[in-house]
Chains A and B, each alone.
Chain A
């Protein structure tokens, strides 16, 4: 019983990280309509830049904020440089460009930081004990941070002017422009938000996996894709639901079916979803 609960807690933490990253990816998909293969590298970049900020003496939470802002700006710049000029060229050009960008970013990180795994300076945290049950603090913390951030995104989308403009642009860009929305600015804001969320996702991923590697974002990307497609691509709320299923699926699969396969369970889930219900569980706009 206790073992199952432990598995569930780790599954929920993994699910929370996937969920957060999937929300970020959905935001950018919602307004640009292409699957960004370089999104995973923004997670990696976020984690490593946070580590740099820590090395300058900032506390981890403050360093994370710095990492998020820097990666947010980087995300906007990358979109300006690489994606905006070819937005009209169709999805193939965008897809292949995003793959190229992924290799550039990933290996830029490897060139700057080397490929040896490193880790965040997390203080030693004693787990909580609830009778028989031992509850480790890091996964609970990760779940809490992810939930609060997603609540923030929800409030932003539902109740702010910018959020409404983002939803309008996602639903129908031409109509949004005709109604006087400056879609270019909405696009830039969405890229910033999406990249900043990725950076936070990267830090949380580094905390749950205990180590940072230049390849971490790239290997995590497919898991995020699985969640996004399962939930209905372009819909952040669907992404949250999909991520929960994928996260629990990975941890339960590892615990009860085959320990060596890890992420492969997510890929299998992804393939099944694509075959059975390619449109995902929820509708594709927010």
Chain B
């Protein structure tokens, strides 16, 4: 449930679901997101410009010419969430090549964690991950939770350019860079699969919040010959 509602500036409302990050809280955030999305779609609430779910927060932005913070707050405080509003989660398998030229941080990660490179990859490939949210750049999925022994901080100096397709880990999370972008996550491989398709307007994302994602290893040859 929402623990606290406050304003983020004068044109957004900030719903705080607490400090913990887990699937239960995140599903609750997504239920609120879906509910408000329905209200917007059915024109039951006017002036909403964006709804942004994350691990344990929900930000609702609005057009200040149409509606104000107190009006949006009242609406959110007064509706009841229908159960099972989350759409059917999918199971998705992502190919990943972990050759040295793609696994940019595997060696340093192995030194930092004091685990062999092979064990890092095997541990990572051995688990199914939950998609908490998408964003930062178009379609980037934030997946979790990775095995406790693989958890570490971001790079001290973030990269100016992380190659498109890079699979990175930090703390309890894993993500996929859908575009070349600046970033500080520890890169352990790269996928040739298209995660964001801007030409598919209705369903541009391969991975959506709630989906289950696992990775499987491919060779460099398979990577280079990848054809969708």
A binds B: no
